[in-house]
Amino acid sequence: MPDWTYHPLRGMAAGILGRRRSQRTALRLLASIGSRPAGARMIARGFAHRHPPEGLAGEIAGVPVAVRLGISVPPALAREAVRALPPLGAGVVEVAPVSADDAATVREAAAGRSVPLVVGACDPAAEAALKPHVDGFTSSDDPHVVHVSDPSVTAAAAVLKEPSAVVLARPGVLVAAGPGWFQRVTEAATPTAPAPVLRDVGRDPRRWPVWWWAFLVGLGMTGAGLGAAAITLGPVLLWYDRDYLGMTLHDLHGVNHHLVHFLQHDRITMAGTMVAIGALYTGLAMGGIRRGWPWAREVYLLSGTIGFPTLFYFLATGFVEPLHTATTLVLFPMFVAAVRRTPHTPRWRLAPEGPEPERRRALAGQLLLIVTGAGLFVGGAVISVVGLTGVFVPSDLAFLGTSTQTLETVNPRLTPFIAHDRAGFGGALMAAAVAITLLSAWGWRRGEAWVFWTLAAAAAAGFLPAVVVHGAIHYTDFLHLAPVYFGIAMTGTGLLLARPYLCAKASPWPKD
């Protein structure tokens, strides 16, 4: 489990199962998943764990390790630790102290291991029994092996600056800090360089960095959303809309005096979602990809992979919107240029550790944002399905005071026309939701103020137009708007809880 469920929910789990049982249950669950290659990859990818930098490689007891960071556990926890903790970022597992009576337990734990397993043997008999089955043996007086009981990330990262040092955490460190401790230490110990600035971009598009292309896509999405809002608040219908329908705005008023307002409400919410996507992409470009966070590119890629194919919803609705198509044709090549490479050079600057209660509150806020993003994705999927099938929900027809059959009788193209807007909004909402969910899950670090402002801007752009337009046209059905109100409450509460943590000041770059 990630820190954002471990800390907010562990009190509840302890109340139900008991403290010790809940801890062992969590460890066994992670071990069960992590023991399978696909499960280990799922945990690593889901926690945004990436390959550690080469500078953290080294050795322990003569055994090479990819990262000089691991855990030291007693034999009773060895089997679960060997399977559960490597996907979380542990580069080595030490089992100590081990006597001859523990040899069978350690042999079982060593089977199928994915990282080196070393043993602190109590006597020659234990060492002789385990020598064929483990990777090496540690000594209690080895000055290069540092056992830590303090969950301080800063202290552990400072130890790792010594190339020959290996940090092994006691189990209590993970109990206190959470499963994300390994990743936090790895990031804090990673050497970084200053992030590029605007003057580094240059004038030749062939040499533009990927973060600049990503930034341009974000600006393009924002501009397209604002343009869609301007059209909706102005003429509402463009020439190709009138040609497709064979009707003018006045004709639509004649069919149903609520119909134009209904079209405006669909299109304003769609425009707000496009601006929200633009805010998310701009933030990911400038705060994430530009600063070398590998997960930022993946958030961007997954969101766009869902958003751009929604252009092909026209295959189901039958209505091709020229401006939508033109926008996609312009932005998609830029999107491909933005995700063609993964940023490799770390350019972030982390804030120093702050008060633990501040982090705990931020983790509760993180959980709220992730739940909100997941809910938005489900909502977008439902809206897409409705748009591509029945088009209207009961509250829509109650607002319009008519039926689908009546609208189809007046003009058989009215329903496909509305379906295009509705399904497109659902697809855009899913793209935004993926970005919100993954940015909240992977980007939550002290001092990353851009995460706070990106999510705040996206929330304002997505929620406020939806609330305002529904009130303006008097479409105020509570059940229809309840998900919006719930999303606003969850997002606002989550951001308020996380603001002191996310907006803490990062460490200044050292002066030359």
Letter for the amino acid at 216? L
As to burial, measured by CB atoms within 10 angstroms (0-12 exposed, 13-18 middle, 19+ buried), residue 103 is: buried
Q: Residue 105 and residue 118: Cα distance in Å, rounded?
A: 14
d(CA 356, CA 276): 32
Q: How far is CA 392 from the centre of its chain?
A: 32
Q: CA-CA-CA-CA torsion for 54, 58, 63, 66, nearest 10 degrees?
A: -30
Q: CA 483, CA 222: separation in Å to the nearest integer?
A: 24
Q: Which amino acid is at 429?
A: L
- How much is the pLDDT for 269? 95
Phi-psi region at 76: left, alpha or beta (left = phi > 0; alpha = psi -120 to 50): alpha
Q: What would the two tokens of residue 262 be? A: 């209904």
| pLDDT tens, per residue, the chain with 512 residues | 688 888 888 788 778 878 778 877 888 888 888 778 788 788 777 776 667 788 899 999 899 999 999 999 999 998 988 988 888 889 999 999 999 899 999 999 898 888 999 999 888 888 899 999 999 999 888 889 999 999 999 999 999 999 999 999 999 999 889 888 999 999 999 888 888 888 888 888 888 999 999 999 999 999 999 999 999 999 999 999 999 999 999 999 888 999 999 999 999 999 999 999 999 999 999 999 999 898 999 999 999 999 999 888 877 788 888 888 999 999 999 999 999 887 778 888 888 888 999 999 999 999 999 999 999 999 999 999 999 998 899 999 999 999 999 998 999 999 999 999 999 999 999 999 999 999 999 999 999 999 999 999 999 999 999 999 999 999 999 999 999 999 999 999 999 999 999 999 866 655 54
- Residue 157 CA: distances (Å) to CA of 64, 162, 186, 187: 19, 10, 7, 9
Which residues touch 316 (CB under 8 Å, ≥6 apart)?
Answer: 388, 419, 423
Tokens 């701009």 found at: 282
356-388 vs 414-442: helix crossing angle, rounded to 10: 160
SS3 243: helix
What pLDDT shows up at residue 512? 44
